[in-house]
Amino acid sequence: MPIPTPEELRMLRLKTGLTQAEVARRAGVSQSLIARIESGKVNPRVSTLMKIYQALSELVEDELTARDIMSSPVIYVEPRTPLVEATRIMWERGFSQLPVLQDGVKNVGTIFEDDVLHAFLRESRRAANLTVADVMSDPLPLVNAETRIGKVTRLLSRGIPAVLVESDMRIVGIIAKSDIAKLLLGRSL
């Protein structure tokens, strides 16, 4: 995990709506230390920065749900989508993976950059004729829209690149690791 900067801590504190004194109490440090860190007047130990960051991120995780940070609508491909078309969508949108939904509803797989690369290397002559179904990987996990962000974060920390968000038996959003990073760091990456 990258070490948060004083500015990132300040932005995260403001996002939570806490005062410096409240953050200090939660992190077990003095309010004056929080003020000096945020103003850049002190160079704190990494362990101190991490205690403050942990106190702030736990608060954010306890309050927000998957619905609060998901990206919607979900950009997806169908199993019958030509691999070349799926690759174009990924490239144009800067995605490293795309969910594969049957009839736009059923979560049947995922296509990753690695799937595309391996297909073109393995099947160079035939690759233009392949479909997503020929190369897709297992589906992304589903979480309910009301799932707490802390649980989503723990799931993503196990090597899963993204989760799909469902509500009323419909896929309504997606959360990638980068969405969690943006939330916790309080800045656009």
CATH assignment at residue 177: 3.10.580.10
Q: What is the mean pLDDT of each run of 10 residues along the chain (189 residues)?
A: 75 80 90 92 87 78 82 96 96 95 95 93 86 96 92 84 95 91 58
Q: 141 in a domain, yes or no?
A: yes
87, two tokens: 């690759």
Domain boundary among 63, 94, 112: 63
Q: Note the pLDDT of residue 55.
A: 81
Position 29 scores a pLDDT of 93
**CA pair distance 35, 24, nearest whole angstrom:** 10
Are 59 and 117 within one domain?
Answer: no
Question: What is the reported pLDDT for 76?
Answer: 97
CA distance 172 to 155: 18
Q: What per-residue confidence (pLDDT) applies to 60?
A: 66
- Show the domain range for 148: 67-185
Per-residue CA distances from 1 to 52, 54, 75, 149, 157 (Å): 14, 11, 28, 17, 11
pLDDT, residue 57, reads: 73
Tokens 């980068």, residue located: 178
Count of the separate structural domains present in the chain: 2
Encoding tokens for residue 34?
């929080």
Which pLDDT does position 1 carry in this prediction?
52
Q: Are 107 and 159 within one domain?
A: yes
pLDDT of residue 78: 98
